[in-house]
Amino acid sequence: MSAARTLSMRDALYEAPGPKTRHRVRIGTAVSAVVVLLAIAAVIRQFWVTGQLAPRYWSLFLQWTTWRFLGQGLLGTVAVALTAGAIALVLGLTLMLGRTSGVRPLAALCRVVTDFFRGVPSLLLIYFFFFVPAQLGLKMPSFWMLALPVALAASGVLAEVFRAGVNAVPKGQVEAALSIGLSRAQTMRRVVLPQAVRYVIPSLIAQLVVVVKDTTVAYVVSFPDLMQNARVLITSYDALVSMYLVIAVIYILINYAINKASVYVAHRTGVKIIR
Amino acid sequence: MGISELLGTYGNKYLQGLLATWSMTAVSFVFVMALAVLVTVARVSPYRPLRVAGDLYVQVFRNIPGVALLIIIAYALPDLGLVLDWRTCVIATTILLGSAFGSENFMSGINTIGVGQIEAARSIGLSFTQIIRRIVVPQALRTTVLPMTNLLIAVMLTTALGSQVPLSPQELTGVVSYVNTRATGGILAFLISALCYVGTAFVISLVGNRIDKRVRILR
Amino acid sequence: MTDLSVAEKDAGTAPVIELRHVDKHFGDLHVLRDVCLSVGRGEVVVVIGPSGSGKSTMCRTINRLETIDSGEILIEGQPLPQEGRELTRMRAELGMVFQQFNLFAHMSILDNVTLGPREVLGQSKEEAEKYAMELLERVGVAEQAHKVPAQLSGGQQQRAAIARSLAMRPKAMLFDEPTSALDPEMINEVLDVMVELARGGMTMIVVTHEMGFARRVADRVVFMADGQIVEEGSPDDFFDHPRSQRARDFLDSIGGH
């Protein structure tokens, strides 16, 4: 059409209002604004009534040492998340390659492993690495007690993401590659994978959110991440509510930024995000 | 510890754990769906404050780590004058997280409908409510069967957060940590719980796929 | 008050569709400039023009899928309502056929056709289905009645969409580039249905690029460019003796004469 205006679906549900509708929308907007503000006010009031707005709960955030300690925790979170993410990337790709290899037993095995890691809570895997190596007499650093299970949990999902990417590569590409004499493996490596990876980059970035979330149970294995350091500060400052809220906001902002980055990359490369 | 010894001593615990996981999942999912509908209605309403509040709700609960939310509900809310029992804390956490993703599923279900069908419905004289009832809702529901199936599995996995508070009876993950603090359960102790999860997820996705095949909209 | 009584008196003789000095902007873009058009009962008006000329937009303003900035749109002498019951009732009386068919994806063809009569006109299921099958028979997709839209070819979908509009027993039909999204071999099956409708005395506004159709069926051809009606006249006059340079350029560019 001539005038290309992009309407989001939620706007498209409504047509351009007439005078009566416009009046009704205006009233509804005012009423809902009041309701939302009242809800916010009620929350703030509850903080006030219970004394949670007292300076002693918030003054620690004015101290440099608080932020330095939280910053150290954040570095721990980032290190674990990136390590787990990198391992999951390799594992996920391997699982996908195995599953699509065409070698029956290998494909079946990879499928079972993929479904297993997708169907099990990451917490269960974390407890596994917390208890079992120790029971077998292995001493494992807490970093790996966290990074490995988080990586395993993510690898199942990533295998599926990669598979979706491979499926998104047009069949004609494979046929063309085979027709010029490339082997199956060569076709996968030289033609399919490079395109598939391009398709899934935004989804891979988005999966980092899941990894970051999974690392927050670091306290189970006593690894000093953001959450664990926050717990330490809570015991020394006795500022539980304020600290947990601040930590939650930090996590939300980090994950929001990761999601935004994923959408941005998808937009830039014109790729749809596969979930 | 062998399987017979493990099941002999803790079999009952595992069974209770499985039932606890199932029941928390079921209860949570009912509320997840209800809340997801409400949030979605707010997000597509013509009232800007509701839209903003709905969008914010989704961004917050999509991005907050489950443990962080559980800890806030279980340990921070009492300081703010709201005390919930442990089970309710876990379920509330699961509902808040799940409903944000549920609303996202509904939104993308609505997005697949396309402006054209809405205009066509308008052009034959359907009113706004008729369009919502006969065109938007049926299509949004039918296209979200698979995403919602995956969400149900995710909700089940989220109930493992129950292992972080003193639940009674414990759910599947809590049982494993209980067993291992008392005995050398080894890989087997984990495998029992893991298989319960994987088996349940398998059944859920089997049923979900079957429903999806029946109601899927050809495009 | 006086307006209303005049309007009521005019209902029999007034044009079915009338646009008076209609203006519309999309942001900075002036998409309709002082458009005046009057379509009498049983008249077939074909609107042609280069893409971006505003012809689709004009077509869509008539049942208020697009709003206008100023001017008036009258249906049988009554101003086009802006909202509510009055608007939906008016829309029910104007059929519209879209470029992309826009059939409801989750319903069978039959349900697509009966939805309006049942929801808007309050017909019973039997009544609505009986007439729907007649219409589907007429447009030649009766055998597909129980399939869903995605199982039909584009041409079949568009014919079903026409049946969906006809089921409302409209006073007039608006066609917004009904064949532009079709494969060439399917265009004629849709045009044939439209020719049939025109012969049956339906009042029609057709936005199209099908010059053959315009020449054969139109009572009047309206040529638009840059949001304006540049000229209008009988098809023979227009195609053989275009008066404006714009029209001559347009006809040359599409190689039609």
User: Do C183 and C154 form a contact (C-beta atoms < 8 A)?
Assistant: yes
Domain contains A2:
no
Does C83 sit within 8 Å of A19, measured CB to CB? yes
pLDDT confidence of B214, banded at 50, 70, 90? very high
Does C29 sit within 8 Å of A3, measured CB to CB? yes
Pair (A144, A242) in one structural domain: yes
The pLDDT value given to residue B2: 78
Domain contains A45:
yes
How many domains is chain A built from?
2
Give, for all 275 residues of chain A, the pLDDT tens digit. 333 345 678 888 999 999 999 999 999 999 999 999 999 999 999 999 999 999 999 999 999 999 999 999 999 999 999 999 999 999 999 999 999 888 999 999 999 999 999 999 999 999 999 999 988 889 999 999 999 999 999 999 999 999 999 999 998 999 999 999 998 889 989 999 999 999 999 999 999 999 999 999 999 999 999 999 999 999 999 899 999 999 999 999 999 999 999 999 999 987 776 65
**Residue of chain B whose Cα is closest to the Cα of C170:** B124
Q: What distance in Å separates the CA atoms of residue C173 and residue C162, rounded to the nearest whole number?
A: 9
pLDDT at residue C9 tops 70: no
Pair (A166, A259) in one structural domain: yes
- Please state the φ and ψ torsions of residue C96, each to the nearest 5 degrees: -135, 135
Q: What distance in Å separates the CA atoms of residue C206 and residue C212, rounded to the nearest whole number?
A: 13
User: Average model confidence (pLDDT) for chain B?
Assistant: 95
The secondary structure of C187-210 as a DSSP string is: HHHHHHHHHHHHHTT-EEEEE-S-
Chain C nearest-CA distance from A4, in A, is: 9
The secondary structure of chain C as a DSSP string is: -HHHHHHHHHTTTS-SEEEEEEEEEETTEEEEEEEEEEE-TT-EEEEE--TTSSHHHHHHHTTTSS--SEEEEEETTEEPP-SHHHHHHHHHTEEEE-TT----TTS-HHHHHHHHHHHTS---HHHHHHHHHHHHHHHT-GGGTTS-GGGS-HHHHHHHHHHHHHTT--SEEEEESTTTTS-HHHHHHHHHHHHHHHHTT-EEEEE-S-HHHHHHH-SEEEEEETTEEEEEE-HHHHHHS--SHHHHHHHHHHT--
Residues of C with CB under 8 A from a CB of B: 63, 65, 85, 88-96, 98, 100-106, 115-116, 119-120, 148-151, 161, 164-165, 168
* CATH code at position A208: 1.10.3720.10
Pair (A36, A167) in one structural domain: no
Does A247 sit within 8 Å of B48, measured CB to CB? no
**pTM confidence score:** 0.92
Does B134 sit within 8 Å of C151, measured CB to CB? no
Residue A102 burial (C-beta neighbours within 10 Å; 0-12, 13-18, 19+): exposed
3-state secondary structure of A232: helix
The pLDDT value given to residue C12: 59
C contacts of A18 (beta carbons < 8 Å): 81-84, 87
State the best of C55, C82, C177 to mutate against chain A, taking most chain A CBs within 10 Å: C82
Chain B nearest-CA distance from A9, in A, is: 5
- C139-142 LR contacts (CB < 8 Å, sep 24+): C139/C163, C139/C193, C140/C189, C140/C193, C141/C109
Q: What distance in Å separates the CA atoms of residue A217 and residue A81, rounded to the nearest whole number?
A: 12
C contacts of B124 (beta carbons < 8 Å): 91-92, 95-96, 115-116, 120, 164-165, 168
The pLDDT value given to residue A275: 57
The pLDDT value given to residue A7: 61
Does C106 sit within 8 Å of B138, measured CB to CB? yes
Mark which residues 15-44 of A lie under 8 Å from B by CB. 15, 25, 28-29, 31-33, 35-36
Does A1 sit within 8 Å of C29, measured CB to CB? no
Pair (A108, A224) in one structural domain: yes
Nearest by Cα to C74 from C63, C85, C89: C63
C11 touches chain A (CB under 8 A): no
Domain contains A5:
no
Pair (A93, A207) in one structural domain: yes
Does C102 sit within 8 Å of B119, measured CB to CB? yes
Pair (A34, A82) in one structural domain: no
Pair (A42, A62) in one structural domain: no
The pLDDT value given to residue A9: 82
pLDDT confidence of C214, banded at 50, 70, 90? very high
pLDDT at residue C57 tops 50: yes
Domain contains A61:
yes
Does C95 sit within 8 Å of B218, measured CB to CB? no
Pair (A19, A133) in one structural domain: no
Strand ranges inside B99-215, DSSP E? none
Domains and CATH numbers, chain B: 3-215 (1.10.3720.10)
Pair (A42, A82) in one structural domain: no
Domain contains A181:
yes
Peptide bond preceding B169: is omega within 30 degrees of 0, i.e. cis?
A: yes
Domain contains A1:
no
C4 touches chain A (CB under 8 A): no
Beta strand C203-207 with C44-48: parallel, antiparallel or unpaired? Answer: parallel
Pair (A139, A238) in one structural domain: yes
Chain B nearest-CA distance from A176, in A, is: 28
The pLDDT value given to residue A5: 44
ipTM of model? 0.94
User: Average model confidence (pLDDT) for chain C?
Assistant: 93
The pLDDT value given to residue A4: 37
Strand partners, C233: C221
pLDDT at residue B182 tops 90: no
pLDDT confidence of B1, banded at 50, 70, 90? low
Chain B nearest-CA distance from C227, in A, is: 22
User: Do A162 and A96 form a contact (C-beta atoms < 8 A)?
Assistant: yes
Q: pLDDT tens digits for A51-98?
A: 999 999 999 999 999 999 999 999 999 999 999 999 999 999 999 999
Q: pLDDT tens digits for B191-203?
A: 999 999 999 999 9
Q: Which of B121-125, B145-149, C1-5 has the lowest mean pLDDT?
A: C1-5
Pair (A64, A168) in one structural domain: yes
Domain that holds residue A20: 11-50
Pair (A46, A85) in one structural domain: no
